[in-house]
Amino acid sequence: MSATTSSGAKTAPMTKEERKVILASSLGTVFEWYDFYLYGSLAAIIGANFFGMYPEATRNVFALLAFAAGFLVRPFGALVFGRLGDLVGRKYTFLVTIVIMGTSTFLVGILPTSASIGILAPVILIGLRLLQGLALGGEYGGAATYVAEHAPNGRRGFYTSFIQITATAGLFMSLLVILLTRVAVGDEAFAAWGWRVPFLVSVFLLGISVWIRLQMNESPAFKKMKEEGTGSKAPISEAFGQWKNAKIAIFALLGLVAGQAVVWYTGQFYVLFFLGAVLKVDGFTTNMLVAWSLVLGSGGFVLFGWLSDKIGRKPIILGGCLIAALTYFPLFHMLSKEANPALAAAHENIAVRVLANPADCSFQFNPTGTVTFTKPCDVAKAALARASVNYLVEEVPVGTQAAVRIASGTPILAGTPTFAGELSTALTAAGYPSASNPTVVKMSHPFDIFRAQPALLILIMTVMVLYVTAVYGPIAAALVELFPTRIRYTSMSLPYHIGNGWFGGLLPATAFAMIAQTGDVYYGLWYPVVVALGTVVIGIFFVPETYKRDIFADDVTTHYTQPARVRS
C-alpha cells in the first residue's frame, strides 16, 4: 500500500531497512529513558543508602549534584555529542551514548553503599549520574536525526513519531519493573537490596540495543554530506556563534520546545506529583492510574506525527499547547473532585488564613531540597502546602508573629514546638480529611479499573496524555527540518534539552513554590499555562512551517527562506 506526501506525490511503503532503523533508534532510546527514570523513581531509597548518614551540609551538596546531573547537564551533553555527531556521524555517536548510559546504570546497581565504602559511594554515584545526564543529552538528537535522515520526504513526521513514544515507554517500563520487583521480594527486602534489580536488568537491555545498533548503516544525508565535503569543521560555533543560525535555535526553543516541555511534564510528571503530594493518593494507585493513561493515550504519538505530514507541524504542536493551556484548570479541578472528594470539598468550604507580614515570608523555590526555610511564616505556609490546604494570606503589622487561623478559630502561632500537632488537630476538627480518608481513590490491583472512580480518573489523565502526544509527536521532525545537515545534530539537541531539561524539569519545584506562596493548590498550573501560551505566540510569528522541506537540500539560504520541493 502506497502513501501520499503532503504535496500529493506517491511514496513507497516503509521498507524493511527503514523499519529496522526505526526499531533500532526507538528501542535503544526506550532503554535510555528507562535507565534515566529509575533514579527519579527510587530517589528516596537511593538517598537513604548513599546520603542519609552524612551531616546536612554534605547531604545538601550531594542532592544538588544529583539534581544537576538529572536536568542541568543535559544541554552540555547535547553540545558534546551533538558536535561529535555532526563531525563523526550519527550512528557511532548515539551508539556511544547508549553504552555510556547503560554501563552507568548497571554500575549503580552494583555500587556499594556509603555504609560499606564511606563518602566514596556518593561521589561515585554522582559521577555515574553525571555520565547518565550527558549521555541522555546526546541520545535524543542522535536518534531523531538518524531516523529523520532515513525517512522519505512527506513521511518524516510519521517515521520520527515512533522515537517520541520512547520517553513514555521508558517511564512505563521503569514503573513496571519496579512494581514487579517490589511485589516479588516485599517492601522490606526491596528497600534493603531489591532496589538494585531494576538497575541490573538494564545490562540485558543494553546488550540488545548495542547489538541492533551495530548492524545499522550511517544516515544517507550524512554520507552525502561527507562525500561532497560540505560538513562543518566547527558545528558549535557555526550553530550558535552565527546569528542567522542561532536565532533559529532560539525560536525553536521558545516557539516550539518550551511549550512542548511543560505540556509533556504536566501530563506525565506533574500529574504524578499532584495525585500523590496534593491529593494524597497512595503510590501504588498513583502509578497504576498514570500507567493506564499512558497505555491508552500513547498511540497519539504516531497519529499526530502522521497528521503533521498532512497539515504541518505548527498547527498540531501549537494547537496542543493552546488547548492544554485553556483546559488544565478545569481538568485538574475534576481530578481533585474525583480522586479525593472530601479534600476537594474542604478546599471549597473551609476558610484558612495565614496571618503574617509579607516581608517575613520567602518564595520557597527549592528544586534540590537543600534549602531550609525557618521563618515562622515560611513554616506555616510549607506545613499548609504539604497538607494540601487552600489558604489566603492576611497581612498583619510588622513584628507580629505569624499564625494560622482556621475558620473562625483561635490563631495557631507558627514556629512553636507544638505548632505541627496543633495545626493537624485543628484542620481535622474543621473538616479537612484525615490520613484514613475513605473517599480517596484506592486501587487494590492493576486491573481494578472498572469502577467509576478510577475509570473516570484514567479518562481525565488520558486526555492530558493526548495533549502530550500532540505536542511531542511531531517535535522531532519539526526540529530536524529547521537545521541543515552540517549542524543538525548540534543545533536541534541544545534547544530540545534546554526546553525539556530546564523548562520542563523545573516544573514540579516551581509549581510547589507557587502553591506555597499563594496558598492555592491549583496556582502551580499557571507555570505550564503561561509558558505554553508564550510558545503559541512566539511559534505563530517566528517559527517557520517546515513539513514540506527537503532536508537533503543543504544550501543554507534556501533552507531557511524557501520551502524546498518534496521528492516523489
At 250-274, the pLDDT tens digits run 999 999 999 999 999 899 888 988 9
| 350 compared with 228, residue with greater pLDDT | 350
At 296-305, the pLDDT tens digits run 998 999 999 9
- SS3 state at 549: coil
Long-range contacts of 396-402 (CB under 8 A, 24+ apart): 396/355, 396/356, 396/357, 397/357, 398/357, 398/359, 399/357, 400/355, 400/356, 400/357, 401/376, 402/354, 402/355, 402/356, 402/357, 402/360, 402/361, 402/375, 402/376, 402/377
- Residue among 199, 200, 205, 161 at smallest CA distance from 27: 205
Cα(522)–Cα(267) distance, integer angstroms: 15
Provide φ and ψ at 505, rounded to 5°: -65, -30
What integer pLDDT is reported at residue 236 of this predicted model? 84
Please report, rounded to a whole number, the percentage of residues in the chain having pLDDT higher than 70.
90
Residues with Cβ within 8 Å of residue 111, at least 6 apart in sequence = 121, 124, 125, 128
- SS3 state at 266: helix
What integer pLDDT is reported at residue 535 of this predicted model? 97
Amino acid letter, 235:
P
What integer pLDDT is reported at residue 263 of this predicted model? 96
Inform me whether the pLDDT recorded for 147 exceeds 90.
no
Q: How is residue 486 annotated by DSSP?
A: G
Helix (H) or strand (E) holding 152: none
Range(s) of the chain covered by CATH 3.40.30: 345-430
Strand order through the sheet with 403-406: 392-395, 352-356, 403-406, 412-413
Inform me whether the pLDDT recorded for 242 exceeds 80.
yes
What integer pLDDT is reported at residue 173 of this predicted model? 85
Please report, rounded to a whole number, the percentage of residues in the chain having pLDDT higher than 90.
34
What integer pLDDT is reported at residue 250 of this predicted model? 93
At 320-369, the pLDDT tens digits run 999 999 999 999 999 999 999 999 999 999 999 999 888 888 877 766 66
At 404-459, the pLDDT tens digits run 999 888 899 998 889 989 999 999 999 999 878 889 999 988 899 999 999 999 99
- Where is mean pLDDT largest: 231-245, 249-263, 421-435, 515-529? 249-263
Confidence class for position 44, pLDDT limits 50, 70, 90: confident
Inform me whether the pLDDT recorded for 8 exceeds 50.
no
**Overall average pLDDT of the 116-129 stretch:** 88
Residues with Cβ within 8 Å of residue 79, at least 6 apart in sequence = 137, 236, 490, 493, 494
Cα(323)–Cα(266) distance, integer angstroms: 13
Inform me whether the pLDDT recorded for 211 exceeds 60.
yes
Range(s) of the chain covered by CATH 1.20.1250.20: 15-339+444-561
Inform me whether the pLDDT recorded for 209 exceeds 50.
yes
Inform me whether the pLDDT recorded for 191 exceeds 80.
yes
Cα(102)–Cα(505) distance, integer angstroms: 22
**Overall average pLDDT of the 192-220 stretch:** 86
The class of domain 15-339+444-561 in CATH terms is mainly alpha
At 382-403, the pLDDT tens digits run 889 888 899 988 888 888 889 9
Average pLDDT, the chain: 84
Inform me whether the pLDDT recorded for 562 exceeds 50.
no
Does domain 345-430 correspond to CATH entry 2.60.120? no
For β-strands 3-4 and 10-11, DSSP reports them as antiparallel
Cα(350)–Cα(177) distance, integer angstroms: 41
Query: Structure pTM?
Result: 0.84
